[in-house]
Amino acid sequence: MSKKIGFVGLGTMGLPMAVNLNKAGFEVIGYDAFEGSRQKAIAAGITIAETLKDVAQQADDAIVSMVRDYAQNVDVILGEDGLLSANSKNLTIIVMSTLDPDTMNELGQQVEEHGDVRLIAAAVSGGSTGAEAGTLSIMTSGAEDRVTAARPYFDAVGSNVFYYGSKPGNSQAAKLVNNLILGINMNAIAEGLKFGAQYNLPQDELLNLFQVSTGDSWVARNWDSVSEWTADTALAVLLKDLKAAHLKGLEHHVAMPFNALSSTQLFDSMGKNKP
């Protein structure tokens, strides 16, 4: 009998991740607040539970939360009819949403006050294409034994797994570091291409140059998709992370001028209208 894993949040990222867990031999017990998402999941072969409590009761040892933000995680996990209402024992909740480090630590503390349930964090990088291909990079943190036990789930949805210590928030700090660099690189590529356009340099040839020269980066190699990011979806999410990194830098007296500049210039550099 295949192991059952709960999965809450079956949107753009969550659904392909749940599908890849199914492909790896796990039985996914899914839940999403939106009917449209539930129907897409059913069509993709995911078993849908009626309530969050049902998810917790059916899952063998772990539930993934892939909802949008802190408020949604609190509602899903700690709400009156949330996952913890099932009073399950030895359950690990794997939060794969992107929160800020301190908020994730606070959420972990709230969950652990319920006794036999533990929270580990596993922020992801790779976007919807990585989720579909099962090649996400996964930044984990939390109790090491729980992270180790969850490794088969991570291997089903990603190709690189990293561990950053016992505090759940460390996963989120690693995600902010990664996205800080992403934002800076996006500004650099966009500005370089804009300058090249003044001399009518073929954009494709410039991108080919970057990829085999010192201008190489993930952004350069994936510019076809990155350049299509919109101000109300992926760019807005990235800007949220850049701002979070900036605020945490101020809080801890860490100067990050390039990140601050990227935060203010991102939409202009990418030629997008601000949301």
Token digits of residue 187: 């500004």
Residues in the chain: 275
- Hey, is 29 helix, strand or coil? strand
pLDDT at 2: 84
38: nearest Cα among 73, 78, 69, 8: 8
Q: Residue 1 pLDDT more than 80?
A: no
For range 97-115, the mean pLDDT: 92
Catalytic residue numbers, as ranges: 175
- Ordered by where they begin, the domains of the chain are 4-166 (3.40.50.720), 173-270 (1.10.1040.10)
Beta carbons within 10 angstroms of residue 81's beta carbon: 12
Range in 21-35, 102-116, 132-146 the model is least confident about: 102-116
pLDDT at 234: 87
According to DSSP, the residues that pair with 92 across neighbouring strands are: 62, 118
Range in 148-152, 185-189, 234-238 the model is least confident about: 234-238
For range 29-38, the mean pLDDT: 96
Q: Residue 15 pLDDT more than 90?
A: yes
Token digits of residue 95: 């939060």
For range 42-51, the mean pLDDT: 97
pLDDT at 116: 87
For range 178-205, the mean pLDDT: 97
For range 130-136, the mean pLDDT: 96
pLDDT at 151: 98
To 5 degrees, how large is the angle CA 238–CA 176–CA 136? 80
* Mean pLDDT over each residue of the chain, to the nearest integer: 95
CB 37 within 8 A of CB 11: yes
Phi/psi-derived region of residue 55, left when phi > 0, alpha when psi is between -120 and 50, beta in every other case? alpha
pLDDT at 219: 96
Q: Residue 189 pLDDT more than 70?
A: yes
Q: How far is CA 45 from CA 13, 15, 16, 132, in A?
A: 16, 10, 11, 15
Helix (H) / strand (E) element for 50: namely none
CB 168 within 8 A of CB 144: no
pLDDT at 275: 58
pLDDT at 237: 87
The whole-angstrom separation of Cα 166 and Cα 145 is: 10
pLDDT tens readout for residues 209-220: 999 999 999 999
The pTM is what?
0.91
For range 92-102, the mean pLDDT: 95
pLDDT at 233: 83
